A and B are shown apart, each in its own frame.
Chain A
């Protein structure tokens, strides 16, 4: 149930970065992490423990540890947080601006990340120390990350909203027939349904883009 949002968001993040790929691109880091996975298995337990402490879910833990494994957890953490942001936000322009700003900040703070990662791959001890450093780097964002984790998965939210829309549309018919079209409760319900529909359409647009 919780894998879907990441898949969907992976697509969206892919789109966001299309045509702007750079050596510091997070997606590149993610791919290097998957390719060199066996070598980077050593610092993983410590990272996982940390992420589990923060009450993460199974699906999110895997993605999180992916980023941690790559030794770019600051970037990875940003990506994770941004993914969470996508779930409920319906302003793609704002999101992109915010995301780009965050990315710039991260780049500034951790220059030469990929090179350090290559070193860490060769030496287990170094990699463990790097991972612990990364965890300490990440601490300021922990609260934000936990907040993101506590949100509901996107497919579940969609399911709930669609079901609620169906129920409320039927209720609106009953309201109209029983208390009349002009009753304030009917109007309130109608406004609410329209708002829900708008929200759903906006989200659909974001997902299509």
Chain B
């Protein structure tokens, strides 16, 4: 999924730590929602919602329907601002590659969204259905049920899900650290190379400097 470049949502900034919008951004989003709320019900119906998501993302029709059904948990046929805000945060998290962080920070609402039947348990099919939103890979999903399904019923309750989010968050942080270290290493090498180049340009030879040192001390 990708956000349309230059669209209103594209300009919003999602806080990387808390995965939330600033008050100023939320205010702008309220205005935007108000503009789309044609029938003044403080909600968006399925048609408006479809055209909105179709306009700002590259999601397909069936995916948009899945998202709508996920957000319209009460089956009212319309979604309010709370759900709209949640969706925008999910979209921005995905755009900024912050899926793990988002699930970790908002584990409860995400769990409630994934728990379609309201049984307080999530099956693998639910995860699979929303894969395009949260980008949980197949292998990750297999590991998830293998490692965290403590009750052994092939479904995750909230505590198990929370454990998974903590684990995936740790993994994500480790990978981020590794990436940063990889980035830092070439910089060090480059700086070392630069020093040696500078010395050679200035005509400073290590052997010369050592011999000079010896001469001076002799």
**Residues of A in contact with B (beta carbons under 8 Å apart):** 1, 150, 152, 156-157, 159-161, 163-164, 166-168, 170-171, 174-175, 178, 185, 188-189, 192, 196
For the complex formed, measure the closest distance between the CB of A94 and the CB atoms of chain B, giving whole angstroms: 23
Number of interface residues of B (CB under 8 A): 19
Residue B36 interfacial (CB < 8 Å): yes
* With A152-B27, A167-B52 as contacts: A178 and B47 at CB distance below 8 Å: yes
* With A152-B31, A156-B28, A170-B55 as contacts: A163 and B38 at CB distance below 8 Å: no
In the bound assembly, the distance between CA atoms of A178 and B48 in angstroms comes to: 13
Across the interface, A171 reaches (CB within 8 A) one of B8, B35, B48, namely: B48
* With A152-B28, A171-B48, A178-B47 as contacts: A160 and B55 at CB distance below 8 Å: no
In the bound assembly, the distance between CA atoms of A161 and B38 in angstroms comes to: 13
For the complex formed, measure the closest distance between the CB of B88 and the CB atoms of chain A, giving whole angstroms: 13
**Residues of B in contact with A (beta carbons under 8 Å apart):** 7-8, 11, 27-28, 31-32, 35-36, 38-39, 47-48, 50-52, 54-56
A189 and B51 contacting across the interface, CB-CB below 8 Å: no
In the bound assembly, the distance between CA atoms of A81 and B33 in angstroms comes to: 27
6 examples of A-B residue contacts, CB within 8 angstroms: A156-B28, A159-B11, A168-B38, A170-B55, A171-B47, A175-B47
Give the tally of cross-chain contacts (CB within 8 A): 54
In the bound assembly, the distance between CA atoms of A167 and B37 in angstroms comes to: 11
For the complex formed, measure the closest distance between the CB of A147 and the CB atoms of chain B, giving whole angstroms: 13
B11 and A156 contacting across the interface, CB-CB below 8 Å: yes
For the complex formed, measure the closest distance between the CB of A191 and the CB atoms of chain B, giving whole angstroms: 9
A167 and B55 contacting across the interface, CB-CB below 8 Å: yes
For the complex formed, measure the closest distance between the CB of A169 and the CB atoms of chain B, giving whole angstroms: 9
- 9 smallest CB-CB distances across A and B, nearest first, come from A164-B35, A171-B51, A170-B51, A192-B38, A167-B55, A167-B51, A160-B32, A189-B38, A174-B47
* With A1-B11, A159-B8, A189-B38 as contacts: A164 and B47 at CB distance below 8 Å: no
In the bound assembly, the distance between CA atoms of A161 and B48 in angstroms comes to: 15
A160 and B47 contacting across the interface, CB-CB below 8 Å: no
- A188: B residues at CB distance < 8 A: 38-39
A160 and B35 contacting across the interface, CB-CB below 8 Å: yes
**Closest Cβ neighbor of B9 among chain A residues:** A163
In the bound assembly, the distance between CA atoms of A150 and B52 in angstroms comes to: 26
- B8: A residues at CB distance < 8 A: 156, 159-160, 163
* With A156-B11, A167-B51 as contacts: A161 and B35 at CB distance below 8 Å: yes
**Closest Cβ neighbor of A162 among chain B residues:** B8
Across the interface, A164 reaches (CB within 8 A) one of B11, B27, B32, B54, namely: B32
- A164: B residues at CB distance < 8 A: 32, 35-36
For the complex formed, measure the closest distance between the CB of A209 and the CB atoms of chain B, giving whole angstroms: 25
In the bound assembly, the distance between CA atoms of A160 and B6 in angstroms comes to: 11
For the complex formed, measure the closest distance between the CB of B134 and the CB atoms of chain A, giving whole angstroms: 25
- B31: A residues at CB distance < 8 A: 152, 157, 160
- B32: A residues at CB distance < 8 A: 160, 163-164
For the complex formed, measure the closest distance between the CB of B24 and the CB atoms of chain A, giving whole angstroms: 8
- A156: B residues at CB distance < 8 A: 8, 11, 28
Contacts A160-B31, A166-B55 supplied; 9 other A-B pairs, CB < 8 Å: A1-B11, A159-B11, A160-B28, A161-B35, A163-B55, A171-B48, A188-B39, A189-B38, A192-B38
- B50: A residues at CB distance < 8 A: 174
- A196: B residues at CB distance < 8 A: 35
- B36: A residues at CB distance < 8 A: 164, 167-168
B51 and A185 contacting across the interface, CB-CB below 8 Å: no
- A160: B residues at CB distance < 8 A: 8, 28, 31-32, 35
In the bound assembly, the distance between CA atoms of A150 and B54 in angstroms comes to: 31
In the bound assembly, the distance between CA atoms of A157 and B32 in angstroms comes to: 9
* With A160-B8, A161-B35, A188-B38 as contacts: A167 and B48 at CB distance below 8 Å: yes
